[in-house]
Amino acid sequence: MRNILITGGAGFIGSNLTAELQTRYPEARIVVVDDFRSGDFKNFRGFRGDVVAADVSRLDWNAQFGDRVFDVIFHEASITDTTVHDQFLQTHDNVEGFRRVLAFAAPHQTPVVYASSAATYGVCSGIQHEDQPPAPANVYAFSKVQLDNLAREHATKNPSWRIVGLRYFNVYGPREVHKKAAASMIYQLYLQMKAGRRPRVFRSGEQRRDFVYVKDVVALTIRAATAPHSGVFNCGSGVAVSFNEVIAELNRCLGTSLEPEYMDNPYAHFYQPHTQADMSRAAAELDFRPGWTPATGIADYVATLEGAASVR
């Protein structure tokens, strides 16, 4: 990878991806396109590449980059706040942004790795498999289904072109602080407990989530760039843990013994009670297996947060 384009590189996953690619490929020319709606310039600390401040759904890609050819495009740009219910805004910006990326990549069939979402599975229980029919329960998930549809259409017409989607599950880790209320529940609970408050979760705290550490997400995202063919892959830890278990782990890491405070769920009509990624396709086709368990990931993340706090 000598020439790399990353959309959404100022965001949570995008900035972790950008930093890791710069480490792995120090001689590569890396370009980030981001409109900073859900990103932060602070996430670019140490970045040596180029930043184009633009909305991917409105950018004139050919005018911006001319005949420049990239080796790979990582498409992470998206409205990521699932509580944004403006249907036009979510659908237009997420879908049209991807459509423009594909149009720009098409002439040279530049490999594209894009961010899909486990939200496409909808409100269901058990383990989620890539072949399950989509059942989006909110417009964010609906927009991600459209990305998968677009990718499949282009890949079917162009079998030699690699377009790979990753259905990210519940990602947590460094560089998400700027997301504030939209940051991971692990980070939200950490903040509450660090302040000495009882952690608040929906009643009765037994909802289970596949929390995947961002370091594994980045590793699989980079691996997907060399996938043997187009397709969609789950990106999770493969393990579902309850919020009560997360709180117990945070208590261990922080040396506290705070009991959960339970509250009613105002989002019950589209809230996923259980997420768990079937990671067998990623193992078989990409030779990828998560390296971080929920316990080791949370411990590493807390150590990072505590280290950042001591520096401040």
Among 140, 168, 172, 213, the one annotated catalytic: 140
Who's near 220: CB < 8 A, 6+ residues apart?
Answer: 166, 233, 235, 282, 286, 288
Helix 214-224 / helix 294-311 crossing angle, nearest 10 deg: 110
Q: Which residues pair with 208 in a beta bridge?
A: 242, 274
What distance in Å separates the CA atoms of residue 176 and residue 171, rounded to the nearest whole number? 10
Helix 12-24 / helix 214-224 crossing angle, nearest 10 deg: 60
Q: Where are the alpha helices (DSSP H) in 106-242?
A: 139-157, 185-194, 214-224
To the query of whether residue 179 is one of the catalytic residues in this protein, the response is yes
What distance in Å separates the CA atoms of residue 12 and residue 306, rounded to the nearest whole number? 19
C-alpha neighbours within 13 Å on the C-beta side of residue 225: 19
55-70 burial, b at 16+ Cβ within 10 Å, e below that, comes to bbbebebeeebeeeeb
Among 172, 179, 190, 213, the one annotated catalytic: 179
- Burial of 4 (C-beta count, 10 Å sphere; 0-12/13-18/19+): buried
Tokens of residue 152, six digits = 């499949």
Active-site residues, by number, are 140, 179
